[in-house]
A and B are shown apart, each in its own frame.
Chain A
Amino acid sequence: MTIHGEPIHVRAKIQNIGGYSAHADQDGLFGLVAAMRPLPEKVFLVQGEEEAANALKFKIRDTLGVNVTVPGLGDSFEL
């Protein structure tokens, strides 16, 4: 390419980043629940991959003593 009439060799490459997310990560979501006072009686994890959701579920349950449910498709709950 040419900049101000000077030929420049382009060394930059274009990379696609497929894993970028603007959502909070596990630590961020955990911190959100941990900061609640009083702690919630129950937490529903309704978005995310099943494996990641379950990992967060166990972390919240084991560390905060709060019940956590990862609902399946079509599940319903009475609050």
Chain B
Amino acid sequence: MPQELSNSYLKYKICVSGAAETELCSEDTLELAKEVGREIVRQNGIIVTGATTGIPYWAAIGAKEEGGISLGISPAASEIAHVKSYKLPTDYFDLIMYTGFEYSGRNLLLIRSSDAVINICGRIGTLNEFTIAFEDKKVIGVLEGTGGAADMIRDIVAKSHRGSGKIVYDTNPKRLVEKVIELIKKEKVVLPSMRVIRKKGAGWKDL
């Protein structure tokens, strides 16, 4: 019998994808992003971002304020390039992985490293991460009403003739994270712990 995720050390890895520069976003979007970060932690997740500014940064701040774990996946090859060339932040992350793969390569690793992606506002980079997640059949949450790409996705999906994907939509951070985690739970594969005592005589062996 598979062990419940809630009984293991594994946490839901939820990527927050959104605009690094937020002029196009709705006025309260950054506060909503911060609340998404808090909710990810409250609901047993860790936040994964592109270690960048704007929406992902505010979500990471919310996650750390809630006492959670924040993972950043950088386009830069080193810490010095991350700070000096890309001018990206290093605070509010427990760990930053330096990919050296520029933005497009970073985006792929970012999505592949996550169980799900939450889109908030966003520009082309956010759409890039959305289409990677869609192609990879990842769970996607869209925080509607935040402007930019997030408010286009429903229309893009409808007009792109590839089905509806594993996408949930909401305008409320708490409800959106709940919906995303419900979908993750349906797909999460967890190897039973070696410490779990298994049933005898039903095809299971003692370890």
- Chain A nearest CB from B120 CB (Å) reads 13
CA–CA, A65 to B22, complex, Å? 12
Task: Say whether A62 contacts B61, CB under 8 Å.
Answer: no
Contact among B20, B21, B58, B87 for A65, CB-based, below 8 A: B58
CA–CA, A54 to B89, complex, Å? 21
Task: Say whether B92 contacts A62, CB under 8 Å.
Answer: no
Q: Mark A50-71, 1 if CB is under 8 A from B, else 0.
A: 0000100010011101000000
Q: Is the interface of A mostly helix, strand, loop or mixed?
A: helix
Number of B interface residues in the complex (CB < 8 A): 13
Residues of chain A contacted by B58 (CB below 8 angstroms): 65
- Most chain A CB neighbours (cut-off 10 Å) among B22, B53, B61, B87: B53
Task: Say whether B23 contacts A65, CB under 8 Å.
Answer: no
CA–CA, A58 to B87, complex, Å? 15
CA–CA, A58 to B24, complex, Å? 10
Question: Which A residues contact B (CB, under 8 angstroms)?
Answer: 54, 58, 61-63, 65
Show 21 A/B contacts (Cβ-Cβ < 8 Å), sorted by A.
Answer: A54-B23, A58-B21, A58-B22, A58-B23, A61-B22, A61-B30, A62-B20, A62-B21, A62-B22, A62-B53, A62-B54, A62-B57, A63-B53, A63-B57, A63-B87, A63-B89, A65-B57, A65-B58, A65-B61, A65-B89, A65-B92
